[in-house]
Chain A
Amino acid sequence: MRLKLLIFLAFAILISACVQAPQSTNNTTQPNNAPKDANKKLKIGFSMATVKEERWQRDQAAFKAHCEKMQVECAITVADNNSAKQANDVENLLTQGIDVLVIAPQDATQAATLVDKAKAKNIPVISYDRLINSDKIDLYISHQVPVIGKKIAEYALQKVPEGNYVMVYGAGTDNNAVIMKKEQLAVLQSAIDSKKITIVADNFIPDWKPEEALKMAENALTQNNDDIKAFVVSNDGMAGGVVAALEKRGLAGKILVTGQDAELPALQRIAEGKQTMTVYKPIIPLANSAVEAAMKLGKKESLTGTQMFKNDAIGKEIIAILLEVTTVDKDNLMDTVIKDGYAKFEDVYKNVPADQRPQQK
């Protein structure tokens, strides 16, 4: 009994000693609202919703690389398509003492609470690529999602002015998918009204899952006896599922299929003629601009190159930096993604016989 008491006391003393120690050695961290000295590295927190798609892998890599180049610290978290996890991630970042918060939200509305948390600590917030439904964000930086939606629909309409259309939208919880749907329908509306095109099936696909897009395409083809002229698909992952469904029916290459993100498998499908187009969004300029904007906000400098953007979901205008995008199809593959070094020639044309590949410049 005495021995146990002794051991217990020893532990108690040890633990209290440990609790004291950090305070004495730790004099380098400062509370968030203390003035920053110029020598201290800025710390940017980047909370990502997912890195599952290839493009997000690039965002993550480019963001990290640019932070190192600009000599700022960055902490990146990934929420795996889980908004509860993203909430935890953001709280952890705020606890770590970041100066600026960049969020690529999993859920546009839930992320507004996260914005409030950051603003309560006077931390500037940047909404990255996906729009957060909050009027408190300091900046929205993206590739003009409405323009992407518009370009996809315009491309489809130009190549297929008449016939049955199937609209495969992204996740209903992702603001980008909602914006793209709105823009696509706006472009197609007059053709719909004049009965030139008919939308025979349309739906949001949970989490942008390719497998669900495959099933939707299969069922749409069955229902319309293969009489579909265009699949307006909002990203490359889902386009892959749609093309698989077409391949089974021997229709790959005969029906227009759109996409977004310029993922390597999609570029390969375009080279083979199975997918018709995708949208190339240079990721590196996006990530770089985000880092630089974060630095400016962190140092309380003013931003440049901004414009006002209306968030229809909340009916407010916000400050935004919007970057250019390019549609990519078989004809301009060489001049866009390959010329920029975004993708390698050998990778993109891997499944195309050597004699059918275009000349490399």
Chain B
Amino acid sequence: MSETVKKSGFKIETSSLRAYTMLGAMVLIWLFFQWQTGGIFLTPRNLSNLMLQMSVTGIIAVGMLMVIVSGNIDLSVGSVLGLAGGTAAILMYFYGYGMTAAIVAAIAVAILIGIFQGFLTAYLNIPAFIVTLGGLLAWRGAIKGISNSQTVPVSDETFKLIGQGNMTLISGWILAGIAILALLFFTYRRIQAQKTYGLGEANLGGEMLRSILPIGAILGFIYVMNAANGVPLPVLIFIVVALIGTFITNSTVFGRYLYAIGGNSDAARLSGIDTKFNVLKVYAFLGLLIGVAAVISTARQASAEPGAGVLKELDAIAACVIGGASLMGGRGTIFGACLGALIMASLDNGMSLLNVRDFMQELIKGAILVAAVGIDMIGKKS
């Protein structure tokens, strides 16, 4: 069971505590940039850009979080992204395949690599670090080989739309409506469950308060996105992926098994959990997400370059860690990982608007990453 911390009447799980602290940090960062850029940072257009710029990393971070929670790691993410994206572009440009075939191929390549690496890690007991480090090198070599190290352009307009298009304003509001209804439904179910399982009457006032914030956030989000011409499609895909990830980690047996395996893999195995198969599955799932991210990234740039995705794995890992994941396994939330990705994208975006020199940006990002997690660790009781 996850430990909880009582904070003024609300129960917050400690694994989410870091995430909420980071939420506070993010608000500070946003306010800082808003002030420094003279009010441009929080405009709908820039916020829309920000969400767009974080979506690829965010999608990968969702999968990476699950891998890290299970006590493993994947360093080959960037190279697989380059290979999958390149596969899609090459199929369309040189072989005349349509968009659907290309997308399926890209995702298939990524899933197959995920299964392969998962198999090596889980069944052959090769440390995940080594398997995926080898993958980082090998798959990068592969994309350079099949593309002859050339950038492959993408001219299919529909394909490009995946990366460059927006939802219509109406569908944005419909989406908000569905989300709010779902939220209320789940809240209702939770209240019912508490009664059914004899956990006492639910604090109706507390439940209402708990729902208001997310509902407000949903409405605010759609309002801002629509003010900037609609929710960008990559952002929509990211949100869907994040919701699926949250559902898996919180509400499925597979998800809970991941936490068990990461927390204590021997205990998990002895309890009857098929640790090997579940690790294989989580790598395959990460592969699926990398494929999706590759399609978005290629569509957004309207081309596949051999260097696509370099160092992306580190972005994803940093996002997970900022959000509260432990690299030892067993703790971390999807919400935290998404927040971590958003924080890093905010830093990139803000510093870009401020025209901060390239080397300075790298310095600052590194410092903030360590500071953010460090301050949090110091504050924790060991």
Which residues of A sit under 8 angstroms from B300, Cβ to Cβ?
Answer: 214, 244, 248
The minimal Cβ–Cβ distance linking A220 to chain B, given in whole angstroms, is: 8
Among B6-14, B175-183, B345-353, the stretch that binds chain A is: B345-353
Q: Contact partner of B302 among A205, A237, A240, CB < 8 A?
A: A240
Which residues of B sit under 8 angstroms from A211, Cβ to Cβ?
Answer: 297, 301, 305, 308
Contact A222 B301 (CB under 8 A): no
Q: Contact partner of A247 among B151, B152, B302, B352, CB < 8 A?
A: B302
Once the chains are docked, how many angstroms separate the CA of A240 from the CA of B302?
Answer: 8
Once the chains are docked, how many angstroms separate the CA of A361 from the CA of B152?
Answer: 28
**B358 is an interface residue with CB less than 8 A from chain A:** yes
Contact A209 B307 (CB under 8 A): yes
**B197 is an interface residue with CB less than 8 A from chain A:** no
In chain B, positions 267-308 with a C-beta closer than 8 Å to chain A are: 297, 300-303, 305-308
Contact B151 A210 (CB under 8 A): yes
Contact A223 B359 (CB under 8 A): no
Given that A206-B358, A207-B307, A240-B303 are contacting pairs, would A51 and B149 also be in contact in the complex, using a CB cutoff of 8 Å?
A: yes
CB closest residue in chain B, given A217: B352
The minimal Cβ–Cβ distance linking B11 to chain A, given in whole angstroms, is: 40
Contact A247 B43 (CB under 8 A): no
Contact A237 B301 (CB under 8 A): no
**A161 is an interface residue with CB less than 8 A from chain B:** no
Q: How large is the interface on A (under 10, 10 to 19, 20 to 34, 35 or more residues)?
A: 35 or more
Contact B301 A57 (CB under 8 A): no
**B100 is an interface residue with CB less than 8 A from chain A:** no
Given that A57-B148, A265-B151, A351-B155 are contacting pairs, would A223 and B353 also be in contact in the complex, using a CB cutoff of 8 Å?
A: yes
CB closest residue in chain B, given A265: B153
Among A223, A240, A263, A351, the one with the most B-chain Cβ atoms within 10 Å of its Cβ is: A223
The minimal Cβ–Cβ distance linking A257 to chain B, given in whole angstroms, is: 13
Which residues of B sit under 8 angstroms from A351, Cβ to Cβ?
Answer: 155
Which residues of A sit under 8 angstroms from B164, Cβ to Cβ?
Answer: 244, 247-248
The minimal Cβ–Cβ distance linking A86 to chain B, given in whole angstroms, is: 17
Contact B353 A219 (CB under 8 A): yes
Which residues of B sit under 8 angstroms from A350, Cβ to Cβ?
Answer: 155
Contact B149 A203 (CB under 8 A): no
The minimal Cβ–Cβ distance linking A308 to chain B, given in whole angstroms, is: 32
Which residues of A sit under 8 angstroms from B331, Cβ to Cβ?
Answer: none
**B150 is an interface residue with CB less than 8 A from chain A:** yes
Given that A215-B352, A351-B155 are contacting pairs, would A57 and B307 also be in contact in the complex, using a CB cutoff of 8 Å?
A: no
Contact A237 B357 (CB under 8 A): no
Contact A237 B305 (CB under 8 A): yes
Contact A222 B46 (CB under 8 A): yes
Once the chains are docked, how many angstroms separate the CA of A268 from the CA of B359?
Answer: 33
Once the chains are docked, how many angstroms separate the CA of A263 from the CA of B147?
Answer: 14
The minimal Cβ–Cβ distance linking B39 to chain A, given in whole angstroms, is: 11
The minimal Cβ–Cβ distance linking A77 to chain B, given in whole angstroms, is: 14
Which residues of A sit under 8 angstroms from B46, Cβ to Cβ?
Answer: 219, 222-223
Contact A244 B355 (CB under 8 A): no
Once the chains are docked, how many angstroms separate the CA of A216 from the CA of B46?
Answer: 12
Which residues of B sit under 8 angstroms from A205, Cβ to Cβ?
Answer: 358
Q: Contact partner of B303 among A52, A203, A206, A210, CB < 8 A?
A: A210
Given that A51-B149, A219-B49, A237-B151 are contacting pairs, would A201 and B301 also be in contact in the complex, using a CB cutoff of 8 Å?
A: no
Contact A172 B358 (CB under 8 A): yes
CB closest residue in chain B, given A216: B352
**B53 is an interface residue with CB less than 8 A from chain A:** yes
In chain B, positions 124-156 with a C-beta closer than 8 Å to chain A are: 144, 148-153, 155
Contact A222 B357 (CB under 8 A): no
**A227 is an interface residue with CB less than 8 A from chain B:** no
CB closest residue in chain B, given A214: B301
**A63 is an interface residue with CB less than 8 A from chain B:** no
Which residues of B sit under 8 angstroms from A268, Cβ to Cβ?
Answer: 153
CB closest residue in chain A, given B359: A172
Contact B150 A57 (CB under 8 A): yes
Given that A207-B307, A223-B37, A244-B302 are contacting pairs, would A218 and B49 also be in contact in the complex, using a CB cutoff of 8 Å?
A: yes
Which residues of A sit under 8 angstroms from B144, Cβ to Cβ?
Answer: 52
Once the chains are docked, how many angstroms separate the CA of A144 from the CA of B164?
Answer: 37
**B160 is an interface residue with CB less than 8 A from chain A:** yes
Which residues of B sit under 8 angstroms from A207, Cβ to Cβ?
Answer: 307, 310
In chain A, positions 271-324 with a C-beta closer than 8 Å to chain B are: none
CB closest residue in chain B, given A224: B40
Which residues of A sit under 8 angstroms from B301, Cβ to Cβ?
Answer: 210-211, 214, 240-241, 244
Given that A202-B355, A351-B155 are contacting pairs, would A219 and B303 also be in contact in the complex, using a CB cutoff of 8 Å?
A: no
Which residues of A sit under 8 angstroms from B352, Cβ to Cβ?
Answer: 203, 215-216, 219
Once the chains are docked, how many angstroms separate the CA of A222 from the CA of B150?
Answer: 30
Contact B49 A222 (CB under 8 A): yes
Which residues of B sit under 8 angstroms from A203, Cβ to Cβ?
Answer: 352, 355, 357-358
Which residues of B sit under 8 angstroms from A209, Cβ to Cβ?
Answer: 307, 310
Among B46, B150, B155, the one with the most A-chain Cβ atoms within 10 Å of its Cβ is: B150
Which residues of A sit under 8 angstroms from B40, Cβ to Cβ?
Answer: 222-223
**B256 is an interface residue with CB less than 8 A from chain A:** no
Please encode chain A, from 254 to 277, with 1 for each CB lying within 8 Å of some chain B CB and 0 for all others.
Answer: 000000000111001000000000
The minimal Cβ–Cβ distance linking A344 to chain B, given in whole angstroms, is: 14
Residues of A near any B CB (own CB < 8 A): 51-54, 56-57, 81, 172, 201-207, 209-211, 214-216, 218-219, 222-223, 237, 240-241, 243-244, 247-248, 263-265, 268, 350-351
Query: Given A54-B150, A211-B305, list of 12 further CB < 8 A pairs?
Result: A51-B149, A54-B149, A57-B148, A202-B355, A207-B310, A210-B301, A215-B53, A215-B349, A218-B53, A219-B353, A222-B46, A268-B153
Give 4 closest A-B pairs by Cβ, nearest first: A265-B153, A248-B164, A219-B352, A244-B302
Q: Provide 20 A-B residue pairs closer than 8 Å at the C-beta atoms, listed in order of the A residue.
A: A52-B307, A54-B151, A57-B148, A81-B307, A172-B358, A201-B355, A203-B352, A211-B301, A214-B301, A215-B349, A216-B352, A218-B52, A218-B53, A219-B352, A219-B353, A222-B40, A223-B37, A240-B151, A243-B302, A244-B164
